[in-house]
Structure 1
């Protein structure tokens, strides 16, 4: 004799999907600690074809991952063979310095980004005045190690060597600066990574709203495996001193906006990985506490640790 357990549809809708991605945070902080700045390796489960989502810290993060037994190969193998490409949200050094400093020992790869971001890298960094030109365009002689691939907003582009593809969305990072969000797909599963961004209400923008409109159907269908989004300052930070960043209050307000488009129930247990926390005084502790205490959406808040693998 047996019985069948029937679950309500609401319970079925809240089930977490099976992991489709593996993430290795190489750097998680939003400043000060130059050996722990924004960089996240992303690959499909079972693959060693990683893309680096930003590249503020590379070698130090890889070494930390090796110490944690996340990788069981040398740092040289990870950097030269596992990392296949870079997705750079914007050219501020806390998102780029690891790529620049490790370029002499890197292998040929593609750097993906919006046009203005790639132009800044070419004209202001890899220009022989700041650093040798490892790119394939720009100041002569070009060493042709890196190929620049411009991303057209909302157009899906394959990411070389990874089996994944990406769509870019412009973000406002304190006028006149621009950042980007990357919607990465592996088969029918997605991850959303946002570079630095201000809230629409502060930036007088609709750019985050446009991102939420684009991903709401994926959230509703449980195809979105997670969202990487920043919370740089605690709520006490004056709005006039946010410099194109989010606080816990503003972040949760934006996720509420997403819930209005996807349905609030679809947000429950959705992994939200908190990035770019400023490690000054006790600000990281306050950011975590403020997010946890005000999380009435039921999202799964994740505070990544350098070198520790995540499954999404």
Structure 2
């Protein structure tokens, strides 16, 4: 009888979402920065590695050192923090070049080890020409004005084509996002073996941006969601629902985030969304906003997503 009960419970949970039936975890994630502004020491940056590996890719790099210090204090990274940045971060993947997504990389560059920076062409051009130019910052890149220090190799990601992320055990496909016309951001679909993790940089909703970038992304990941291979989605919610559409500046609200998740569900099947881990990123910490955003998401979560609000330096597994 106990065995039958366990089987019944397992099958019942599996019907919620195939992800729940998969074990062990495929990805380890350490948030180094989770906010969308104001707090200079806690800006968008997420370490991700295959489960069991200490070789991380850093998704965006708004804040590094403070986040690594907290991860070290929580025993998720080895001490000291500077050495963890040099040795455990094997590569950077930048969704776009706004300062709240690259400041940590720039500030830590003098003490970093040589490695690659991946991104779309426009993002890398900004990093090389506007930051690594000996005016804003020393030229740690491999192009631009002499002398090029060549600490970082800037590697352009072709859209939708899978590329191995060096020294990490991960591969990535990049997708274009609209972050307020005409500015471009990117989403990264990371793979280890047959498991996937989707990270979206800053993005507006298709309906607001008048694009189909998210629709095309959902069309790509819907089969992975149905098959239980999509382990988590990282997506932003920068403002409360009260923010005027004219002042979103290429960002999402709780209502727009859930609207886009429903669009994914319309392709994958609504049942596939149940209990899908959705990590909510880039909350702007204006007075009272964070609490309102969390409440609005929870109250309107009729899709039964597993909403996760990450904390700096705290380990996540998927």
1:275 to 276, 281, 284: 281
Counterpart position of 1:153:
159
Aligned partner of residue 4 in structure 2, secondary structure: coil
Q: Can you give the 5+ residue segments of structure 1 that lack an aligned partner in the other structure?
A: none
- C-alpha distance in structure 2 between counterparts of 1:44 and 1:29, whole Å: 24
- CA 1:138/1:263 → structure 2, altered by over 3 Å: closer, same or farther? same
Q: Can you give the 5+ residue segments of structure 2 that lack an aligned partner in the other structure?
A: none
Counterpart position of 2:197:
191
Cα distance, 1:294 vs. partner? 0.3
- C-alpha distance in structure 2 between counterparts of 1:2 and 1:96, whole Å: 53
Which range moved further: 72-81 or 53-62? Answer: 72-81
Aligned partner of residue 251 in structure 2, secondary structure: coil
- C-alpha distance in structure 2 between counterparts of 1:57 and 1:33, whole Å: 10
- C-alpha distance in structure 2 between counterparts of 1:100 and 1:246, whole Å: 27
> 1:200-215 alignment to 2 at 5 Å?
200-215=206-221
- C-alpha distance in structure 2 between counterparts of 1:244 and 1:213, whole Å: 21
Counterpart position of 1:12:
14
Cα distance, 1:9 vs. partner? 6.1
- C-alpha distance in structure 2 between counterparts of 1:300 and 1:222, whole Å: 15
Paired residues in the alignment total 312
Q: CA RMSD in A?
A: 1.4
| TM-score calculated relative to the size of structure 1 | 0.97
Deviating beyond 3 angstroms after TM superposition, the runs of 4 or more aligned structure 1 residues are 1-11
Aligned partner of residue 149 in structure 1, secondary structure: strand
How big is each residue's C-alpha offset from its partner over 1:26-56, in whole Å with a ceiling of 9 and x where there is no partner? 0000000000000000001110110000000
Counterpart position of 2:246:
240
- C-alpha distance in structure 2 between counterparts of 1:235 and 1:109, whole Å: 40
How big is each residue's C-alpha offset from its partner over 1:176-227, in whole Å with a ceiling of 9 and x where there is no partner? 1000000000011100000000000000000000000000000000101100
> 1:281-300 alignment to 2 at 5 Å?
281-300=287-306
Counterpart position of 1:69:
75
| TM-score calculated relative to the size of structure 2 | 0.95
> 1:41-190 alignment to 2 at 5 Å?
41-190=47-196
Aligned partner of residue 96 in structure 1, secondary structure: helix
- C-alpha distance in structure 2 between counterparts of 1:2 and 1:213, whole Å: 41
